[in-house]
Amino acid sequence: MPEESSLSHSSSMKGRVGMYELGQTIGQGTFAKVKYARHLCTGRSFAIKILEKETILKNKMVQLIKREISTMKLVKHPNIVQLHEVMASKTKVYFVLEYVTGGEFFEKIVSSKFHNEKGRLSEREARKYFHQLINAVNYCHSQGVYHRDLKPENLLLDANGNLKISDFGLSALSEQCLKDGLLHTTCGTPNYVAPEVIYENGYDGAKADLWSCGVILFVLLAGFLPFEENNVLLLYKKIRKGDYNCPSWFSSGAQNLLKQILNPNAKQRITFAKILEDPWFKEGYKPAKFVFDQGVNLDDVDAVFSESNVQLETEKRKLQVSRPVSLNAFDLISFSPGLNLSGLFEMKQSFKLETRFTSKYPAPEIISKMEETARPLGFTVKKCDYKMTLRGVETGRKGFLSIITEVFEVAPSLFVVEVRKAGGDTLEYHKFCQSFSEGLKDIVWQTEAEMDVSSG
């Protein structure tokens, strides 16, 4: 376990983790901070990403962190930020990373000497960076790693101006694919995400990453995004259709390659192998030179948390979920077929197997009210955080009626409640919904127009 001194620096002592002396904070994210560090024996510079174990547990991120460690140990490439070591104390996890001194790629390109009056890179320079991006991403896929959040903000430059991919927090490994061979977790940044990722039918991680690479190439050449709308629904409609226009200054070769990459039909999208044969791409292309690491050992990934298992189990019992799962734009869209949110926030009595309503009441009050309403209707209740399972005490036409409810947070004072049938007869379920909704009418949020109708 690394020695961990106070992180408040004094004139005589700086923070220290193992054999690394910590310096100033050079980056800050939602769940982690990054500090400059110097190895005490070699004097080499590193960047150390620091995560609090309490935060990891509270946000149920243990598997995510383990996956990020596994991913970064697998990808050893000159155009990827390298993970040198992972350490853990009783309260923190430390990623010792390559220290990249060239700054963020996104900031660099707008002030580069190659940047022209139109706010874009020259085609020659854009192609050079695209070569490096494709080299690195293609290598990741050869190792069974899919990044899933490729964008200029996750690219860095080293001291020689070479591109480095960073932030594998949303990455996936090939073994996460289901039996259909596809990934099914919706994630990424809206403007850069592939159309097939938005929907729930699964997607090929390599094809999705390639789409994001195409969006990045467009940004380098144009100085702006190919798909951009203030309304996220309109944005996704454009992405789904592949609705973009190349500026007049794009060469025919660049336009042709982009057309093949930004094809909304993933099955017809160009492959990495075909990109390497493309005439526009091949101009000035130099494959990356490196030695494949065949000795990667992932057996020690669990050790990051095993050093303090007793403490972690104690913390898990203490760290009860303080709030429901949050919904993002992807979740809202998946709740509403056809990208239409108009019917999301109202109680439906049609013959569906699930229904939703919104409430401005605190989440614990919503759970209590639902429990209070369900029991007199003849249901037993089992609760786990903000989920409830309701089971009829009497058998129906198709066995016991079973219903699952869950509360989701849309905003600090707005919650979506999902109610769905898990078993039993559909007609009995809809009769239950009618009685259940009547009992919950005091906590269901209504718009002013709806209140006017109900009062009229």
Q: Which residues are annotated as a binding site for ATP?
A: 58
Sequence-separated (6 or more) residues with CB below 8 Å from residue 262 = 211, 214, 215, 218, 226, 242, 244
Say how far apart CA 130 and CA 163 lie, in whole Å.
9
Rg of the chain (C-alpha set) = 26
Say how far apart CA 423 and CA 353 lie, in whole Å.
10
How many angstroms separate the Cα of 190 from the Cα of each of 117, 232, 234, 239, 240?
A: 28, 8, 11, 9, 12
Sign of the torsion formed by the C-alpha atoms of 62, 63, 67 and 73: positive
**Bridge partners for 94 per DSSP:** 50, 87
Contact assessment for residue 158 and residue 177, using Cβ atoms and an 8 Å cutoff = no
The Cβ of residue 248 has, within 10 Å, a number of other Cβ atoms equal to: 5
Residues across the chain: 456
Q: Which positions are annotated as active-site residues? A: 149
What is the identity of the amino acid at 79?
N
Say how far apart CA 134 and CA 276 lie, in whole Å.
9
Q: Is 90 exposed, middle or buried (0-12, 13-18, 19+ CB in 10 A)?
A: exposed
Residue 56, both tokens: 């990891």
Contact assessment for residue 216 and residue 241, using Cβ atoms and an 8 Å cutoff = no
Say how far apart CA 67 and CA 389 lie, in whole Å.
31
Sequence-separated (6 or more) residues with CB below 8 Å from residue 153 = 104, 106
Q: Are strands 399-411 and 45-52 parallel, antiparallel or unpaired?
A: unpaired
Contact assessment for residue 208 and residue 197, using Cβ atoms and an 8 Å cutoff = yes
List for the chain the helix, strand, coil content (%; round to 5). Answer: 35, 25, 40
Q: Are strands 399-411 and 325-326 parallel, antiparallel or unpaired?
A: parallel
Contact assessment for residue 351 and residue 384, using Cβ atoms and an 8 Å cutoff = no
Contact assessment for residue 290 and residue 136, using Cβ atoms and an 8 Å cutoff = no
